[in-house]
Amino acid sequence: MTSILDFGAIADGETNNAPSIQRAIDSVSASGGGRVTIPAGRFLSGSLQLKAGIELHLEPGAELYASSNYADYLPEHSVPSITKNLIVEEVLPQRAFIVGYQAHGVSITGQGTISGNADGFILDRGQYIHEMRAPEGGRSQYLERPFTIFLIDCESVVLRDFTLRDPAFWAIRVTGCDGCNIDGIRILTDLMVPNADGIDIDRCDNVRITNCELITADDCISLKTCTATAMYGPIANVVISHCIMTSTSGAITLGTESCADIEQVIISDCIITDSHRGIAIRPREGGQVRDVLVNDCIVNTRTFSESWWGHGEPLHVTAAAWDDESELHPGNPERKLAGSVRNICFSNIMCRSEAGVLVWGQRPELVREVVFNHVRVEMSAQSKWDPRIDLRPAGETTFLRRDHSAFELMQAEDVRLEDCRVVWNPATSNRYAHAVAAVDVRDLVLERFHGEAARAHLPAVSEN
């Protein structure tokens, strides 16, 4: 066990301790690996590179605090530099606070805290979403802010027990890793920081995310297959269980950045509260999401500003192209490709929401074989926002502005509702429409469905 104090680190919250901490990491790595300890105290630091076999351990009371000075994120720690230009992303940042490449057997553990110092990157505090700053002369703030932790092409990753606060961009990104165990961590963000995702899994195999508490501005957990990391293939074999989540955007998202497939995913025994979207399956960019089982979850959602994607859908299944074909985005040609969905099952889910369960395909054949089994949806309006069905990201159509139904089913094939139930709050039922609204759904099956229309003069099931 090696303490960063042995290499001159100072816990004054002002000194850039990156040189001292990096020397400790390099020394332990040169000896074959082992534990590098962050003791109690606030240690400011610029960018750090983890190595194979390193356990970065945060003792109780320790805080590893990210610098807000862009100059402290060293070029030699940038993603293109450490990957020898294997990964150069035009549409995502190139820097990270803590980065590791082919750092097999790496781990971050302990009861301490890692802070991404989002506050230091805020340019203007908005009413519903903050405006962030880029370095002087830099690209847009979206392309410049650092990931807090970014691990690439590592085997046997362990992230356990620590708290990560206030990421300035995605809190944890794991790309191209085989065997990743994320257990018992907490991620707590400013709920108005854009792009402050919790855990982003990009093109990994054999991932387990368990026993975590995630309160994030953007998606709590997101599974992705990003454009520039195609060498790592699809995502497969992911378990997400026993997590508690709140998000200004979506609690769990499969897709959006999805140039390749996302498959064999189980989500179970999770609680989602006060989120803008609950569980969202939304492939874009040509990829397919398939073979997904979601069971034994409680999902409570609410509506929020249009600054954030969503409008309170507890369960969301959509497939489309991100951009309209007439739009020109030279850096994102894949966004003109439609994603697709197949073989998704939601079972034993309790939903309380301001908006309905949503199933929508840009074309019916893009969404196939979706089952809702023992799904209870309780509808109750609480917010000031007018109803909208939010299809974003979808270039051709972004919003449908009409009263919500409990199940919104549009342009899909082989959708089944088995033993589902709809309950309305009598005080706000006049703001809603049907129990089921189905438009151009081929092979729709309702078995033992329980629910009436929100208003007496409407049919429970509306099909067009």
pLDDT tens for 271-287 read 999 999 999 999 999 99
Range of the structural domain that residue 432 is part of: 258-464
Residues 277 and 384 occupy one common structural domain: yes
Q: Which helix (H) or strand (E) holds 21?
A: helix 18-30
Residues 301 and 435 occupy one common structural domain: yes
Residues 185 and 36 occupy one common structural domain: yes
Residues 6+ apart with CB under 8 A from 269: 241, 242, 296, 297
Residues 267 and 389 occupy one common structural domain: yes
Residue 338's closest CA among 283, 407, 294?
Answer: 283
Among 248, 274, 290, the domain-final residue is 248
Strand (E) positions, 307-339?
A: 315-319
Residue 41's closest CA among 15, 23, 22?
Answer: 15
* Position 253 in a domain: no
pLDDT band of residue 330 (cuts 50, 70, 90) is low
Q: Is the pLDDT of residue 261 over 90?
A: yes
| Mean pLDDT of the 421-446 span | 97
Q: Is the pLDDT of residue 326 over 80?
A: no
pLDDT band of residue 169 (cuts 50, 70, 90) is very high
Residues 320 and 459 occupy one common structural domain: yes
Among 221, 248, 275, the domain-final residue is 248
Q: Which helix (H) or strand (E) holds 410?
A: strand 407-418
Peptide bond before residue 393 is cis, with ω within 30 degrees of 0: yes
Give 345-399 pLDDT, tens digit per residue: 999 999 999 999 999 999 999 999 999 999 999 999 988 999 999 999 988 789 9
Residues 221 and 311 occupy one common structural domain: no
Strand, helix or coil for residue 138: coil
Residues 227 and 343 occupy one common structural domain: no
| Mean pLDDT of the 18-41 span | 98
Distance CA 145, CA 367 (A): 35
CATH number for the domain spanning 13: value is 2.160.20.10
Across-strand partners of 277?
A: 250
Distance CA 176, CA 231 (A): 8
What is the number of structural domains in the chain? 2
* Token digits of residue 184: 């018992």
What are the respective helix, strand and coil percentages of the chain, to the nearest 5?
10, 50, 40
Distance CA 193, CA 123 (A): 11
Residue 27's closest CA among 9, 46, 10?
Answer: 9
* Position 176 in a domain: yes
Residues 87 and 152 occupy one common structural domain: yes
* Position 233 in a domain: yes
Task: Classify residue 188 by its DSSP letter.
Answer: E
Is the distance from CB of 419 to CB of 376 less than 8 angstroms?
Answer: no
Tell how far CA 202 is from the center of its chain. Answer: 11
Residues 289 and 198 occupy one common structural domain: no
Region class of 97: left (phi > 0), else alpha (psi between -120 and 50), else beta: alpha
Task: Classify residue 79 by its DSSP letter.
Answer: H
Name the one residue in this structure whose structure tokens are 């979706």: 370
Distance CA 112, CA 40 (A): 8
Residue 110's closest CA among 35, 180, 51?
Answer: 35
Tell how far CA 98 is from the center of its chain. Answer: 19
Residues 149 and 283 occupy one common structural domain: no
| Mean pLDDT of the 31-49 span | 98
pLDDT at 325: 65
pLDDT at 332: 81
Residues 209 and 311 occupy one common structural domain: no
Q: Are strands 389-390 and 315-319 parallel, antiparallel or unpaired?
A: unpaired
Distance CA 260, CA 238 (A): 15
Least confident of 18-32, 104-118, 251-265, 297-311: 297-311
Task: Classify residue 385 by its DSSP letter.
Answer: P
Indicate the average pLDDT of the chain.
96
Among 223, 248, 273, the domain-final residue is 248
The C-alpha angle 401, 405, 411, rounded to 5 degrees, equals 75
pLDDT at 328: 60
Q: Is the pLDDT of residue 461 over 80?
A: yes
Name the one residue in this structure whose structure tokens are 């109690």: 40
Residues 262 and 243 occupy one common structural domain: no
Residue 316's closest CA among 388, 263, 223, 391?
Answer: 391
| Mean pLDDT of the 130-158 span | 97
